Amino acid sequence: MKSLADLKISEKGIIKSFSDEALSIKLIEMGCLPGSEIQINFTAPFNGPIAIKVAGYHLSLRKEEAQSISLEE
Amino acid sequence: MSDQPKLKIALVGNPNSGKTTLFNLLTGLKQKTGNFPGVTVDKKSGFVKLPDNRTAELIDLPGTYSIYPKTLDEKIVQEILLDRQNPQHPDIAIVVADATNLKRNLLLFTQIRDLGIPSVLVLNMIDIVQQRNVKIDLRGLSIDLGIKVLATNSHSGHGIAALKKIISQPLLQSNKPFYDVTHLAAETINDIKEKFDLTEDYRAYQYAQQTERIGFIDEEEKGVIRQIKETNNFYDIPTQSQETIGRYQLISDIVDHNIIDPSDESKTTISEKIDKVITHNVFGYVLFFAILFLIFQSIFAWATGPMEFTENLVSQFGRWVQDVLPEGILNDLITDGVIAGLAGVVVFIPQIAILFAFISLLEESGYMSRAVFLMDRVMRKFGLNGKSVVPLISGMACAIPAIMATRNIESWKDRLITIFVTPFMSCSARLPVYTILIGLVVPEKLVFGLINIQGLVLMGLYLLGFLAAIVSAIGMKYILNTKERSYFVMELPDYKLPQWKNVLLTIYNKSKTFALEAGKVIIAISIILWVLASYGPGESFRNSESIVRAELPQNATQAEYETKLNSYKLEHSYAGNFGKFIEPAIKPLGYDWKIGIALITSFAAREVFIGTMSTIYSIGHNDEDEGQIREKLRQEIDPETGEPVYTLALGMSLMVFYAFAMQCMSTLAIVYRETKGWKWPMIQMTYMTVVAYVSALITFNIFN
């Protein structure tokens, strides 16, 4: 299954579901709703956090956290 | 004067919504920082003069994204808003929302509204919205949300008068919730409402959602709630996601209905362009270290003048008090005890002010979250977190504000490790100790023709502190076991020009908090030390005058007599006895009982070392001129060997000891407050002392 971590820089995707329940609450609160568009803006080196654009603003999260966000194929 | 209880207003909103600017505009300089009772979060409050001449108390609550807390700062918002009995529970909530990001900002607003707290919605940063040609129908928004809505521009102050007028009038608000939670858990809500006599469904629902997190419900009541939830098959996490998604759906419809946004989503914004440079894989780190370097330079270079100025001011004040007050014990206590202690606090204010100027500039501009973003990967290798960067940098000025800055680290384990290792960072109080000892034992030579050895040793000591912090963090990472997850979901706010008024107010408030909090402890310790060093047990202390007189030759001057008497008294005082008592333990490190006294007194604060040394070597009263102390130390001769006491080995060993040892009462006190118990400060002190002792022992033997 495709996750947010698989996107390349500037590539867009649509959020489908979350595989980590506890984390999903925080993500939903921050506006990462199922069905919303999400885009990777830039990443920190050495597998560091990634910066995404969602709901009209910028958010950063770790790579493992991005893996928990599944995208529509 | 009126006996009527004052109108209490809470300012709530997302982080980066311009809440602080609005707070400053509403209250002006009529602000105070204190503590919320029982917790360590700083409480910022101020007074607002309303158009009808009433005065309202405005409380600036920490920024939060929702009523469900993730950090300690956010928890305070939940405790105050959920508990009607809380003394801080507001009569009115001013909910601040960033107009450029309305959907996410409205989530918190709808939750507060459903708690039944009369609220008004303030759309901040309306100027940026207008620049982008976005049209917001305020009236439509007001009707759809069922609440008064107004727009403010915190740069120009536009809208503030209107806001004051609105809060002075009764706020009418429909009892119908914005989002009805009863369809999620009807029975649970009803049972809790009945049991706790609550009116709002959402409040009861929150009791069910946050049972374990709420501090104002006791264990017995929690048991009842658990029972109710079990009977009704209530599961918190799925219900919560359902609730949040449901709220967002309603919000989304309302926002889309009332906002016309012509801007092209795919167009690169200015912030995104700046980010291309600032978070660049190479340049980003270069910039980060350049900023660090600038902070250091200014803490050491720019603070020197103001520090000397305040030091002179306090010592002049001391001399004045000494002359004015009649001679005697009270005079000595005030000048040598209280004012000397006060000087130790005041002298650090310039450094603290400069450090907070930088931190507040970096935070205001939006750079800090980028630094956290860039450093997270590296810090995690050491068991820390990107957010540990701020405390570790602050720790180079003073561990006290640094440890307070760990509060926004969500994960308890990451936060604890950060608190634990921060005191290893070389703080400004170690600097005077290093300066004196380096000047004393390290020759002023150049290596390779240009590098000053003294400077090199100083830098080495800073690196040593940093290494100790990192190594200890790695160790703790493996020792501490926790099931708790560490999150890193963090907003990267748009870059903004810092507002000078906010920066100045931060500097003022933080310096004041430091002076008062640390000041209390340091002054208390100084008084105790003064007593211990001025009084002693037994005959040898009581008869000191006659003993010293007998030891001196007949033709000794009065000055010689007093010098001798002072050092004799110190040796036989309680402090001197302590020094003698620990001498066997510190002998292997090369220290004698006099240094032993300094080690004990330095426990109050490291910089007390110099004051103690100057007393021990009986330099003239109140005169802390460094050059003089250095000369006295240089001339100190070991009575057994006839060699100078302050050799390279002893100097290095002493500096290494100061680099590692936890010699700061105030830091221990703050760790106690932040970890809510004596366990961690005690472990920390033991650990740091052992590291200091062993390292000093090794250093002494290498150089000897």
Residue B695 domain flag: no
Architecture of domain A4-71: Roll (2.30)
Interface check for B242 against chain A (CB to CB < 8 A): the answer is no
Q: d(Cα B455, Cα B57) in Å, to the nearest integer? A: 52
Q: Residue B621: is its pLDDT beyond 50? A: no
Model pLDDT, residue B425: 94
DSSP element (H, E) containing B271: helix B270-278
Nearest-Cα distance to chain B for A19, in Å, is 13
Per cent of chain B over pLDDT 70 is 92
Residue B685 domain flag: no
Interface check for A9 against chain B (CB to CB < 8 A): the answer is no
Amino acid (one-letter) located at A22: A
Residue identified by tokens 């100083």 is: B458
Contacts of A46 in chain B (CB under 8 A): 377-378
Residue B247 domain flag: yes
Same domain? For B186 and B128 the reply is: no
Same domain? For B321 and B248 the reply is: no
CATH classification of the domain holding B40 = 3.40.50.300
Helix pair angle (B102-114, B201-209), 10° resolution:
100
Contact between B157 and B127 under an 8 Å Cβ cutoff? The reply is no
Nearest-Cα distance to chain A for B526, in Å, is 47
CA triple B403-B406-B411, angle to 5 deg: 135
Nearest-Cα distance to chain B for A33, in Å, is 7
Contact between B58 and B11 under an 8 Å Cβ cutoff? The reply is yes
Contact criterion met (CB < 8 Å) for A33 and B70: no
Same domain? For B192 and B156 the reply is: no
Interface check for A16 against chain B (CB to CB < 8 A): the answer is no
Interface check for A36 against chain B (CB to CB < 8 A): the answer is no
| Residue range B586-596, pLDDT digits in tens | 999 989 888 88
Interface check for B302 against chain A (CB to CB < 8 A): the answer is no
**A27, A30, A45 member nearest B281 (Cβ):** A45
Classified as helix, coil or strand, B185 is: helix
Q: How far is CA B702 from the centre of its chain?
A: 38
Contact between B472 and B421 under an 8 Å Cβ cutoff? The reply is yes
Question: B560 to each of B256, B563, B565, B621, B674, how far by Cα in Å?
Answer: 87, 5, 8, 14, 50
Residue B412 domain flag: yes
Residue identified by tokens 């709901």 is: A55
Q: d(Cα B685, Cα B95) in Å, to the nearest integer? A: 43
Region B498-511: what's the mean pLDDT?
Answer: 84
Q: d(Cα B609, Cα B433) in Å, to the nearest integer? A: 7
φ and ψ at residue B109, rounded to 5 degrees = -60, -45
Same domain? For B186 and B160 the reply is: no
Confidence class for position B623, pLDDT limits 50, 70, 90: very low
Answer with the residue of higher pLDDT: B524 or B459: B459
**Structural domain total, chain B:** 3
Nearest-Cα distance to chain B for A25, in Å, is 6
Q: Residue B620: is its pLDDT beyond 50? A: no
Contacts of A34 in chain B (CB under 8 A): 245
| Residue range B625-683, pLDDT digits in tens | 555 667 777 877 776 777 788 889 999 999 999 999 998 877 888 898 788 888 999 99
Same domain? For B460 and B313 the reply is: yes
Q: Which of B105, B28, B12, B102 is nearest to B63 (CA)?
A: B12
Question: B126 to each of B145, B378, B454, how far by Cα in Å?
Answer: 18, 38, 55
Q: Which of B223, B229, B230, B221 is nearest to B196 (CA)?
A: B221
Residue B174 domain flag: no
Contact criterion met (CB < 8 Å) for B103 and A21: no
| Closest-CA residue of chain A to B386 | A49
Contact criterion met (CB < 8 Å) for A44 and B104: no
| Residue range B327-366, pLDDT digits in tens | 777 887 777 777 777 776 677 788 778 877 888 898 889 9
Chain B residues 247-266 with CB within 8 Å of chain A: 248, 265
Which residues, listed in sequence order, are joined to residue B490 by a DSSP beta bridge? A60
Tokens in use for B506? 């931060």
| Residue range B676-697, pLDDT digits in tens | 888 999 999 999 999 999 999 9
Q: What is the pTM of this model?
A: 0.82
Q: d(Cα B96, Cα B660) in Å, to the nearest integer? A: 45
Q: d(Cα B214, Cα B592) in Å, to the nearest integer? A: 54
Q: Residue B619: is its pLDDT beyond 70? A: no
Give me the interface pTM, i.e. the ipTM: 0.95
Residue B521 domain flag: no
Domain boundaries defined on chain A: 4-71
Tokens in use for B642? 């006839």
Contact criterion met (CB < 8 Å) for B68 and A62: no
Answer with the residue of higher pLDDT: B537 or B624: B537
Same domain? For B160 and B201 the reply is: no
CB-count exposure of residue B129 (10 Å: 0-12, 13-18, 19+): buried
Contact criterion met (CB < 8 Å) for B101 and A55: yes
Same domain? For B118 and B214 the reply is: no
* Mean pLDDT value across chain B: 85
Residue B668 domain flag: no
Same domain? For B324 and B365 the reply is: yes
Confidence class for position B1, pLDDT limits 50, 70, 90: very low
Classified as helix, coil or strand, A13 is: strand
Q: d(Cα B223, Cα B206) in Å, to the nearest integer? A: 15
φ and ψ at residue B213, rounded to 5 degrees = -90, -20
Query: Exposed e or buried b for every residue in B515-532, given b needs 16+ CB within 10 A?
Result: bebbbebbbebbbebbeb
Same domain? For B123 and B232 the reply is: no
Confidence class for position B314, pLDDT limits 50, 70, 90: confident
Same domain? For B160 and B206 the reply is: no
Residue B648 domain flag: no
Model pLDDT, residue B251: 96
Same domain? For B162 and B188 the reply is: no
Amino acid (one-letter) located at B84: R
Q: d(Cα A55, Cα A33) in Å, to the nearest integer? A: 9
Domain with B250, as residue range(s), is 182-260
Nearest-Cα distance to chain B for A45, in Å, is 6
